[in-house]
Chain A
Amino acid sequence: MHSLLIGLPLLGAAVLLLGGKRTNAWGHYFATAMSIGSFLVGVASFSEMFGLPAEERSIEWTLTEWISVGSFQVPIAFQLDQLSIAFVLLITGVGSLIHVYSIGYMEHDANRRKFFSYLNLFVSAMIVLVLANNYLLLYVGWEGVGLASYLLIGFWQHKPSAATAAKKAFVVNRVGDIGLSLAVMLMFAFFGTVTFAGVNEAADNASEQTATWIGLALLLAACGKSAQFPLQSWLLDAMEGPTPVSALIHAATMVTAGVYLIARSNEIYNIAPTAQLAVVIIGSITYLMGAVIGTAKDDIKKGLAGSTMSQIGLMILAVGLGPIGYVFAIFHLLTHGFFKAGMFLGAGSVMHGMHDDVNMRHYGALRTAMKITYATFGLGFLAIIGIPPFAGFWSKDEIIKVAFSYSPLVGVLTLVGAGVTAFYMTRMMAMTFFGTARWDDDVHPHESPKTMTIPMIILAFGSAFGGMLLLFVADIESWLEPVVGFEHAHHAPDNAILIPVTLAVVAAGAALGWIQYATRDVPRVAPADVSFLTTAARADLYGDAVNEAVFMRPGQYLTRSLVYVDNKVVDGAVNGTAGFVGLVASQLRRLQTGYARSYALMMVLGALVILATAVLVRMS
């Protein structure tokens, strides 16, 4: 039964892609049904698992043999445990809502069928990723979601910017994938197995050095897929894709695969403090980078993308903290899945009503025109900045707490990040829904159809109550504990101090944002005389410039000089040899006069030479 989780969306993708135009009329309903079906199977599996005692909850099943070489066996085998099911529910749940939303959003798109088939393909690949019981099959899912992401970012490939963004995402992800393949190879070389169970077992006896290398390789993989520094640059451009794609793939699910990977490999990281430290550093840098970028973007989707980068940085930071952090990283991942997907759908709804204009400077005062969007986006906003009792508060607060127990410096960083988050989210909220109306005369903002608003409402409920549900009803700490391990943080600051401090920082950030963007006029054109930091943030903190200067240009020079060497030296040697032979031959052929007498002369001379040599040799 559990294979249906993957099978249904895969069937949907296959029917839509192979069925061609015949499925145009009903393909999108079929794909949505397949996604919902997968979700229902997930819910059934979850309720079944919920009734079992903790140690029996993890089940494994083998579909078929895959790679069988001597003692190296990799079957297509899956593992459904407490961690996987959380992801399965997130992917199929949010995925189904986004399928429904897309029915409305993509209504007039000529390639709607293709869009839905790619969405289904994505869902099935993502479930393969989280259900695989070994790293090699995980790799299959990993590449599958990468492919779906590429196809969907470039869905409007007639726009050069979308085609470029897709290619960029693909290339940057390949860099990360080197890390995953290296990690798989290292595991095979050192442990002789690539299953999670086998690796976890072998990790107990592994040397710290081995674990560190594997951990760093996995971190590289996570950086690529989860858009972490220094491979973050693709995510902002990925917003060229249709908004439901941004919500599903580039906010809620695929980009969190890196967090899953590290949480899944917890046994490796637990014995490799250096790798953990690297994870924390990467997470912290991205957390702040994303937040800073988010403060300067006028494009609503890019602002949200910066925010996504930042929030995933926070999760990566949390998984780097070890057993005190894994649970909360996953917790934050789930709540983030709700509120960020909800806000992306909200952004899509706003764009839908504003003639696909994404510039927030052209919005303003939309709260009256789009009440449902305003309310759902608002709940997501309260959740992300961490106002109790909304979802983000519970998860973010716990992460800040364990970060303080890990190191006061990291704790302060997370606190600063929370303040910046509050600032840019308030800015986004104020520029979109408050202030004065700045839209063009021919734009008439209107609320989106029900197929779009209902998923937003459901996700808004998730943003509001998801945190409490997961923490108090599902008891996520003891739920995930058998898989990722859980320790209570020592020396953590008391909630009685931490929560007021956090809320004060958040309130300060929000107030600053409110004063700047709601009470003052927002110019329709972005002001040019801004501080250096704003200029840098608008340019994605020069991520692209650095990549261009450090990798692209030297690479170009390298290839150009190689081409030069090839043309001049290699080809030169070959052509030169041929030319030399030709030249000599064309000179030598003059000897072939055709006159028998000259040949005879040659013979006589030759004979004389031989004779003279013989005589000289005899004499000496």
Chain B
Amino acid sequence: MSANWFIILSAILFTIGAVGVLVRRNAIVVFMCVEMMLNAANLAFVTFAHTNGNFDGQVIAFFVMVVAAAEVVIGLSIIVTIFRTRRSASIDDASLLKL
């Protein structure tokens, strides 16, 4: 099976994730879209590693997963905290940083 298909799948997943981040308001969904983008990147890494015949890409994919796991913990806890205080999971409501 050609590596191209994997790359195309990776690109599609990444695009869905990016569009999801941009258009969705729910913080949980946005978060899942971010995860999807990370996984799309992972898929690309692994594909290229396979194509090139070494393990660099595989190793990086592991790193990404570890970092993503840690990030999920912190991200979700922030979202939960915000939800508790504001009774809302919409990221547009959390816009206090504007000037």
Task: List CB contacts (< 8 Å) of A579-620 with chain B.
Answer: 589, 592-597, 600-601, 604
Find out whether the CB atom of B22 lies under 8 angstroms from the CB atom of A597. Answer: yes
Complex CA gap A593/B25 in Å reads 15
Find out whether the CB atom of A593 lies under 8 angstroms from the CB atom of B95. Answer: yes
Query: When each residue 82-94 of chain B gets 1 if its CB lies under 8 Å from chain A and 0 otherwise, what string results?
Result: 0000000001101
B96 at the interface (CB under 8 A from A): yes
Find out whether the CB atom of B18 lies under 8 angstroms from the CB atom of A594. Answer: no
Find out whether the CB atom of A604 lies under 8 angstroms from the CB atom of B18. Answer: yes
Q: Select one of B91, B96, B97 contacting A597, CB under 8 A.
A: B91
- Distance in Å from the Cβ of B29 to the closest Cβ of chain A? 12
Q: Which residues of B contact A600 (CB under 8 A)?
A: 21-22
Find out whether the CB atom of B91 lies under 8 angstroms from the CB atom of A592. Answer: no
- Distance in Å from the Cβ of B17 to the closest Cβ of chain A? 11
Find out whether the CB atom of B21 lies under 8 angstroms from the CB atom of A592. Answer: no
Complex CA gap A121/B25 in Å reads 91
Find out whether the CB atom of A597 lies under 8 angstroms from the CB atom of B21. Answer: yes
Judged by DSSP, the binding face of B is: loop
Q: Which residues of B contact A592 (CB under 8 A)?
A: 97-99
- Chain B residue nearest to A604 (CB atoms) is B18
Task: List CB contacts (< 8 Å) of B9-68 with chain A.
Answer: 18, 21-23, 25, 30
Number of A-B contacts (CB under 8 A): 30
Find out whether the CB atom of B95 lies under 8 angstroms from the CB atom of A595. Answer: yes
Find out whether the CB atom of A593 lies under 8 angstroms from the CB atom of B22. Answer: no
Task: Give the interface residue-count category, chain A.
Answer: 10 to 19
Complex CA gap A594/B96 in Å reads 6
Q: Which residues of A contact B91 (CB under 8 A)?
A: 595-597
Judged by DSSP, the binding face of A is: helix
Known: A600-B21, A600-B22, A601-B22. A593 touches B94 (CB 8 A): no
Q: Which residues of A contact B21 (CB under 8 A)?
A: 597, 600
Complex CA gap A601/B18 in Å reads 9
Find out whether the CB atom of A594 lies under 8 angstroms from the CB atom of B95. Answer: yes
Complex CA gap A600/B18 in Å reads 9
Find out whether the CB atom of A597 lies under 8 angstroms from the CB atom of B92. Answer: yes
- Distance in Å from the Cβ of A611 to the closest Cβ of chain B? 12
Find out whether the CB atom of B22 lies under 8 angstroms from the CB atom of A594. Answer: no
Complex CA gap A601/B30 in Å reads 13
Q: Which residues of B contact A604 (CB under 8 A)?
A: 18, 22
Find out whether the CB atom of A595 lies under 8 angstroms from the CB atom of B92. Answer: yes
Query: When each residue 209-236 of chain A gets 1 if its CB lies under 8 Å from chain B and 0 otherwise, what string results?
Result: 0000000000000000000000000000
Complex CA gap A601/B21 in Å reads 9
Q: Which residues of A contact B30 (CB under 8 A)?
A: 597
- Distance in Å from the Cβ of A508 to the closest Cβ of chain B? 95
Complex CA gap A595/B92 in Å reads 6
- Name, among A596, A601, A604, the residue most crowded by chain B CB atoms within 10 Å (CB to CB): A596
Q: Which residues of A contact B95 (CB under 8 A)?
A: 593-596
Q: Which residues of A contact B96 (CB under 8 A)?
A: 594
Complex CA gap A525/B46 in Å reads 118
- Chain B residue nearest to A601 (CB atoms) is B22
- Distance in Å from the Cβ of A170 to the closest Cβ of chain B? 59
Complex CA gap A264/B95 in Å reads 88
Complex CA gap A178/B8 in Å reads 90
Known: A595-B92, A597-B91, A597-B92. A589 touches B22 (CB 8 A): no
Known: A595-B92, A597-B91. A589 touches B99 (CB 8 A): yes
Complex CA gap A593/B92 in Å reads 10
Complex CA gap A597/B90 in Å reads 11
- Distance in Å from the Cβ of B1 to the closest Cβ of chain A? 26
- Distance in Å from the Cβ of B5 to the closest Cβ of chain A? 21
Find out whether the CB atom of B98 lies under 8 angstroms from the CB atom of A596. Answer: no
Complex CA gap A595/B97 in Å reads 8
- Distance in Å from the Cβ of B10 to the closest Cβ of chain A? 15
- Distance in Å from the Cβ of A87 to the closest Cβ of chain B? 80
Q: Which residues of B contact A596 (CB under 8 A)?
A: 91, 94-95
Find out whether the CB atom of B98 lies under 8 angstroms from the CB atom of A593. Answer: yes
Complex CA gap A98/B44 in Å reads 112
Complex CA gap A608/B76 in Å reads 28
Q: Which residues of B contact A589 (CB under 8 A)?
A: 99
- Distance in Å from the Cβ of A68 to the closest Cβ of chain B? 66
A-B contact pairs, 23 of them (CB 8 A): A589-B99, A592-B97, A592-B98, A592-B99, A593-B95, A593-B98, A594-B95, A594-B96, A594-B97, A594-B98, A594-B99, A595-B92, A595-B95, A596-B95, A597-B22, A597-B23, A597-B25, A597-B30, A597-B91, A597-B92, A601-B22, A604-B18, A604-B22
Task: Please name 7 further chain A to chain B contacts, defined as beta carbons within 8 Å, in addition to the given A589-B99, A596-B91, A601-B22, sorted by A numbering.
Answer: A595-B91, A596-B94, A597-B25, A597-B91, A600-B22, A604-B18, A604-B22
Which 6 A-B pairs give the minimum distances between C-beta atoms? Answer: A594-B98, A594-B95, A594-B97, A589-B99, A592-B99, A596-B91
- Which A residues contact B (CB, under 8 angstroms)? 589, 592-597, 600-601, 604
